[in-house]
């Protein structure tokens, strides 16, 4: 074993994601062979692959030619600008009271934190049902459903999603969401320049999740049924590429798939199915790790028993990040090491500065037996920057909040 096997701060990136083969719908017994429709014409086979032909892939079977473009609209910018003047500051983004962030799904995506590996933000669209499809050709996506429920439709089929779900969406997946009209809707959105994977140290040599993993294949939910749309017409796919949205109009729905198989597909994993790892003394963040990617990791803080050493201190110790930035998104419950942080807010603790529990929280935590908190943590290996879109949410007093009487 190397140190990388135990630490999530590994610069070594491995492309293996998960040993989980999925087959859905109708497919021929042999790939790249004749597979005919009821009228005698051929289904159109499409290989969706990563890393050229050496990464994970899936084979999809279309009724129509996937290249039937009717027209292409004018590209529009779709990117975010770093607020360089924000500087080196421990940061609290007061986003708990933010309501609608845009009319539709794409206009509502508001990225607040960015670097060259990942961006993170919020999305609360007014329209609950998308009347177009989206394909992100720039990166993989991880969407956490803080509030809401609905269905994600993609060329891989129908996936029911609900509050507490992480949705892993591989690059170039074509999808649309239909969320329930009733109740709140709030999404946490992350976009990655590389694949978002299960954690390397949780897997054996063939990619199966090991016994000590805090979740297993039974917890991972791929699309469960084919959703076939055969009608011809005008179908808009908004394609994000190089920070631009490219509107492509097709003569048929991209959901003309009768079947597929492979290892590349979107899936959901509920934060409620993450089994916490605890110990006699305070456990470090790597025990909460849920996903890895090139340049960052994602962790889940969930309800759990506190430490059981007779002299344990459940509150975390002070910590200096010398080579990473740490973001916490506060989802549910009272985060016992923080004061003045509400549900749906962010904190960014930058490398180069120490951070730790607020005054009074350490003593208060002693003797506590459990926590009911939920939080999503993003740790990056390169510095994050606040975007100009985030400046209106910055709590200017937060850097001084560890000073008694401030």
Domain boundaries, the chain: 272-400
Give the CA diameter of the chain: 79
- What pLDDT shows up at residue 401? 93
3-state secondary structure of 245: strand
- What pLDDT shows up at residue 15? 41
Give 2's contacts (C-beta < 8 A, 6+ positions apart): none
Cα separations in angstroms, 221 against 17, 114, 202, 217: 15, 29, 18, 8
Specify whether the CB–CB gap between 342 and 335 falls below 8 A: no
Q: Which helix (H) or strand (E) holds 108?
A: helix 105-108
- DSSP annotation of 316 reads P
Q: Of 150, 120, 153, 119, which Cα lies nearest the Cα of 134?
A: 153
Nearest-angstrom CA–CA distance, 199 and 207: 10
Q: Whose structure tokens read 């140290």?
A: 201
pTM listed for this prediction: 0.94
- What pLDDT shows up at residue 2? 35
Q: Where are the beta strands (DSSP E) in 97-139?
A: 109-114, 118-123, 133-136
- DSSP annotation of 51 reads T
- What pLDDT shows up at residue 334? 82
For domain 272-400, the CATH superfamily is Jelly Rolls (2.60.120.10)
Nearest-angstrom CA–CA distance, 271 and 168: 13
Helices (H) and strands (E) in the chain, counts: 3, 29
Q: Can you name the residues that pair with 325 across neighbouring β-strands? A: 380
How many other C-beta atoms can be found within 10 angstroms of the C-beta atom of residue 205?
7
Nearest-angstrom CA–CA distance, 144 and 269: 9
Specify whether the CB–CB gap between 197 and 20 falls below 8 A: no
Mean pLDDT for back-to-back runs of 10 residues, the chain (406 residues)? 40 52 97 98 97 93 97 98 94 96 98 98 98 97 98 98 98 97 97 96 93 96 97 97 97 98 97 96 94 97 94 92 93 86 95 92 92 96 97 96 73
- What pLDDT shows up at residue 404? 63
Cα separations in angstroms, 296 against 88, 96, 220: 20, 24, 21
Determine the distance from the C-alpha atom of residue 263 to the mean position of all C-alpha atoms in its chain, rounded to a whole number. 18
Q: What strands, in cross-sheet order, belong to the sheet with 109-114?
A: 267-270, 165-169, 140-147, 186-192, 118-123, 109-114, 385-386
């Amino acid at each position: 074993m190397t140190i990388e096997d135990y630490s999530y701060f590994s610069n070594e990136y491995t492309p293996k994601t998960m040993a989980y083969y999925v087959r859905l719908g109708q497919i021929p017994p042999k790939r790249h062979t004749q597979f005919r429709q009821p009228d005698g014409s051929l289904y159109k086979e499409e290989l969706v692959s990563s890393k050229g032909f050496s990464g994970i892939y899936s084979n999809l079977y279309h009724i129509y030619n996937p290249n039937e473009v009717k027209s292409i609209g004018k590209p529009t910018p779709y990117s975010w600008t770093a607020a360089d003047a924000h500087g080196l500051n421990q940061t609290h983004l007061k986003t708990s009271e933010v309501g609608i962030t845009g009319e539709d799904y794409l206009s509502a995506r508001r990225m607040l934190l960015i670097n060259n590996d990942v961006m993170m933000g919020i999305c609360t669209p007014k329209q609950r049902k998308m009347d177009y499809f989206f394909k992100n050709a720039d990166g993989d996506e991880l969407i956490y459903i803080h509030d809401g429920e609905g269905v994600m439709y993609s060329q891989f089929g129908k996936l029911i999603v609900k509050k507490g779900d992480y949705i892993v969406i591989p690059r170039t997946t074509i999808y649309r969401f239909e969320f329930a009209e009733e109740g709140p809707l709030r999404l946490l959105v992350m976009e990655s320049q590389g694949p978002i994977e299960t954690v390397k140290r949780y897997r054996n040599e063939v990619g199966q999740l090991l016994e000590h993993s805090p979740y297993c294949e039974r917890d991972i939910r791929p699309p469960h049924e084919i959703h076939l749309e055969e009608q011809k017409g005008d179908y808009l796919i908004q394609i994000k590429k190089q920070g631009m949205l490219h509107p492509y109009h097709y003569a048929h729905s991209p959901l003309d798939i009768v079947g597929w198989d492979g290892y590349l597909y979107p899936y959901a994993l509920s934060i409620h199915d993450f089994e916490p790892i605890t110990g006699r003394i305070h456990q470090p963040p790597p025990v909460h790790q849920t996903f890895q990617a090139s340049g960052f990791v994602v962790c889940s803080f969930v309800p759990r028993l506190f430490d059981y050493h007779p002299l344990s201190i459940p509150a975390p110790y002070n910590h200096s990040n010398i080579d990473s930035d740490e973001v916490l998104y506060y989802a549910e419950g009272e985060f016992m090491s923080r004061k003045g942080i509400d549900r749906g807010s962010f904190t960014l603790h930058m490398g180069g500065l120490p951070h730790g529990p607020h005054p009074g929280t350490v003593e208060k935590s002693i003797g506590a037996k459990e926590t009911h908190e939920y939080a999503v943590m993003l740790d990056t290996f390169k510095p994050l920057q606040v975007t100009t879109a985030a400046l209106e949410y910055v709590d200017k007093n937060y850097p001084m909040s560890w000073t008694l009487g401030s």
